[in-house]
A and B are shown apart, each in its own frame.
Chain A
Amino acid sequence: MSDNQNSAGGVPTTGHVWDDDLGDLTNQPPRWWMLGLTASAVWVVVYWLMYPSIPFATSGDYFKGIGLPATGQWSAIKELAEDQAVLDGVRKPYEDKLKGMTPAAILADSELSEYVTRSGKVLFSDNCGGCHGQNGVGSEQKGAKFAVREQGLMAPVLLDDDWLFGGKIDDVHTSITGGRQGMMSAHKDVLSAAEIDTLANAVAAGSPTSTPLFAEKGCTACHGADGKGIAAMGSANLTDKIWRFDGSLEGIKQTITYGVNSGDANARVAVMPNFSAAGKLSEVDMKKLAVYVYKFGGGQAEAVAAPVVEAAAVSAVADAASAPEAK
């Protein structure tokens, strides 16, 4: 490095002179810098040989590299697989336990249900979110946006405490494994326009039994004498504040007129696929999803309703909450 210290006169230059006295010095770069440059150049060659580097345009193949002594040839997909293996290793003890357990048992185990809640998001988003919406918020279908008739929700909101087919853990599990299909026949040939209007107004007001037509026309057969629905049939509770389909007066009229899955071209569509038959999800996946959905907050405990209502908190509109079985 002492090369850098030249006396005033003896600086070696390229010989070019600008502006009378500006020269171009030909000092050597410092030795450490030259060594670094050389080492970098050597490293480029080593790196090219070790890793995939040269594409062969004609064959569509590429030079795959001679690899590292310890791990062999490198590829991005191999690295991904290794990372996944690490994650699977962390999950394995939990997954092994889940295999032999019922959904109810998983729910009762606080550690495992926490594991499911934490790890189930991707499973839910991939398989359920398409209809039920991200985080189970439901997905609204309005207008011709999706080229589907306006019917309100495409699939039910899973966060609330209203369940068409029951909200106990086993009910939820059954819905996933076996699928569900809503059914309500079209009444356009059975009821007159005036009768439909009367019924729709009563339902919109939340008190379907207020009109004698409700019993006379056989609505009670499915929706129950009190209009609160029958879980075994998947009929809707008509007295609560949750609407499966469009809850406006016009929407209610359409549901009554054309039914649900009735075969009519204007009927509401409400089909939950059978996930066992679809074969896409494993047994454990379906158990996990049942627990995941249950834990959204609307799940119903075996003995009493999950939301324990404290004495002071009973509100005027709590009538529906007092009959959890009918949701």
Chain B
Amino acid sequence: MSEPVKKAEVGSVTGLYSEHVEWSTNLGEATIHAKRMPGRFRTLKYITESFWLIFFFGAYLRWNGKQAILLDVNNRQFHIFNLTILPQDIWMVSLLLLLLAMALFAITSVASRVFCGFFCFQTAWVDLFTWIEEKIEGNPNKRHKLDAAPWNGEKIRKKVLKHVIWLAISVFTGISFTIWFVDAFQYWRDLLSFNLSMLEWVTLISFTLGTYFLAGFLREQTCLWLCPYARIQAVMADSQTILPAYDVSRGEPRGKLRHAGKVVEQQGDCIDCFQCVQVCPTGVDIRDGQQLGCITCGLCLDACDSVMDKIGRPRGLIRYASLDELEGRPVKKLYQHPRTWVYVTILLLALAGIIYGLNHLGALTLRVAPERQPLFVRMSDGSIQNKYTFKVLNKTDHNLHVNVKADGGIKDQVLVGTEKPKLVMHGKATSFTIFVKAPEENILKEVTKVVFRVENTEDPTMAAEYTTMFNAPKR
């Protein structure tokens, strides 16, 4: 995109500077006031952004008298409707993260940064903040003038009003985030009586300030310089990926509209009206091609289409198109895109893992730790005794009694400490000690496999097993 370097400077190191000058970098010196234009993608963006209403109001949903979705980190329990997920099942969260990452990758490989343009909280909050800005300060022209104007009563009134509303939204964002982790209604009571815990205050204040600065001031700078996903996602796109693109062959050579809406001969369809740049929330020029700053929100498509309608040219000078399509190469079908299938396959495997996990949560979980010092004890009758620490996790909502049984191990072994059923408290791991004593002459190996089983006394089908070892002296 730079001018050809002067011949005299070719090969000279200082010649590199001239390229640098041509490459303008948006470092946030000038605030971008993007124009709002109605259109297909504008409407779509409003719809997708409204998914964030769930973030604001979803936590108030009650289920069986309790918060429907409560990520109770304090008590190390996740409640999702009827489901309770304890730390032992947290491996599913890693699969969930994998699933979300792969969904992001798959969608990005098909249609580029859909997340950035339509769903990202940064995009959504900036959109909301600038919408408020427009309501108070007027259209982009008026906003530029107001920014440049000297301070007077009118400017102060408008600016204060804007920042107060921004801060109010930021505070509400902080509150809405926190109530997913604590009881929503109790949190409001605590908040209104200034009774929050230190952690809750820190969360609220950091989210408030974070929202205020990121959406109010940093804006597109976040996407350009802070966000790792912007960089990662760009890697997912290839020449088959459809993304908002400028049809160079149709648009160039661009030139201003000369007279009475007529386009000069040999001039492309682009009339260089800069509407696509004006509406861009990150201030990029899509006509320079796909670039880091483009969050693929499609607003420039709306802008260009409206101009094409006005000058009587077909729509789609800027449109969702793949690089292959624009450069006239044969366009492959979606199923010919192996990259997408790899992502989808991993996604489905992760999903299968989660479904398996949710169906095998079980009501009881057993872990048995054999004593390691010493591995075994010789008793007075010559038999060998092993000590095992049982940890039984009861995931039901009531206390249970369990019987302990053993399978395998040594012939004629005796389980000491299993005479009476064991009480296991609900919602946590109960631990107890069991001894296994076996006659030495029956022990054939130094290490013998033994399977322990705990069963609910009332319902033996509710059980959990654990395989461990019986240790004995060297044979």
Q: Distance in Å from the Cβ of A88 to the closest Cβ of chain B? A: 22
- Complex contact B382–A241 (CB within 8 A): yes
Instruction: Kindly state whether residue A89 has any CB partner on chain B within 8 Å.
Output: no
Contact indicator B17/A11 (Cβ below 8 Å): yes
- A160 to B377, Cβ gap below 8 A? yes
* Interface residues on chain B, number (Cβ under 8 Å): 38
A313 to B381, alpha carbons, bound, how many Å? 13
Give Cα A68 to B29, complex, Å.
40
Known: A137-B374, A160-B378. A8 touches B413 (CB 8 A): no
CB distance from A128 to the nearest CB of B (A): 14
Distance (Å) between the CB of B431 and the closest chain A CB?
A: 8
- Contact B380 A327, beta carbon cutoff 8 Å: yes
Is chain A's interface secondary structure helix, strand, loop, or mixed overall? Answer: loop
Cβ–Cβ < 8 Å partners of A157 in chain B: 377
B414 and A307 contact, CB distance less than 8 A: yes
A215 on interface, CB distance cutoff 8 Å:
no
Closest Cβ neighbor of A306 among chain B residues: B416
Bound Cα distance A21, B17 (Å): 12
**What residues of B have a CB within 8 angstroms of the CB of A7 in the complex?**
17, 21
A5-B21, A7-B21, A21-B14 are known contacts. Are A315 and B383 too (CB-CB below 8 A)? yes
The interface residues of chain A lying within 8 Å CB-to-CB of B439 are 313, 315-318
**A21 CA to B382 CA in the complex, in Å?**
90
Measured CA separation A263–B275 after assembly (Å) = 108
Neighbouring B residues of A117 by C-beta, 8 Å: 433
A 244-260 binary contact with B (CB < 8 Å = 1; else 0): 00000000000000000
Q: How far is the CB of B353 from chain A (nearest CB, A)?
A: 35
Cα–Cα distance between A288 and B277 once the two chains are bound (Å): 78
B379 pairs with A321, CB closer than 8 A: yes
Contact, CB under 8 Å: B21 / A8? yes
Determine which of B14, B17, B373 lies in contact with A135 in the assembled complex, contact meaning CB atoms within 8 Å: B373
A1 and chain B: residue at smallest CB distance: B27
**Contact of A313 with B382 at beta-carbon distance under 8 Å, contacts A5-B21, A307-B435 already known:** no
- Answer yes or no: B419 CB below 8 A from chain A CBs: yes
Which B residue's beta carbon lies closest to that of A4?
B27
The reply to whether A297 and B387 form a contact with Cβ atoms under 8 Å apart is: yes
Residue numbers in B under 8 Å from A321 (CB-CB): 379-381, 383
Which residues of chain B are within 8 angstroms of A309 by Cβ–Cβ distance? 414
Answer whether residue B54 sits at the interface, using C-beta atoms and an 8 A cutoff: no
Among B385, B414, B432, the residue within 8 A (CB) of A297 is B385
Q: Restricting to B420-439, which residues have a CB under 8 Å from any CB of A?
A: 423, 431-433, 435, 437, 439
A21: shortest Cβ distance to chain B, in Å? Answer: 5
Q: Are A161 and B380 neighbours in the complex by a CB distance under 8 Å? A: yes
Measured CB to CB, the closest approach of chain B to A38, in angstroms, equals 21
Q: Which of A240-286 contact B (CB under 8 A)?
A: 240-242
| Residues on the B chain within 8 Å of A144, using CB | none
Nearest-CB residue, chain A, relative to B413: A313
**Taking the nearest CB of chain B, how far is it from the CB of A141, in angstroms?**
17
Contact surface of A with B, Cβ cutoff 8 Å: 1-2, 5-8, 11, 21-23, 110, 114, 117, 134-135, 137, 157, 159-162, 237, 240-242, 295, 297-298, 306-310, 312-313, 315-321, 327
Residues on B close to A: CB < 8 A? 12-15, 17-18, 20-21, 25, 27, 29, 371, 373-374, 377-383, 385, 387, 412-414, 416, 419, 423, 431-433, 435, 437, 439-442
Given A1-B27, A21-B13, A317-B382; 15 other pairs, CB 8 A cutoff: A8-B15, A137-B374, A157-B377, A159-B387, A160-B379, A241-B378, A242-B379, A307-B435, A308-B414, A308-B419, A310-B414, A313-B413, A316-B439, A316-B441, A317-B381
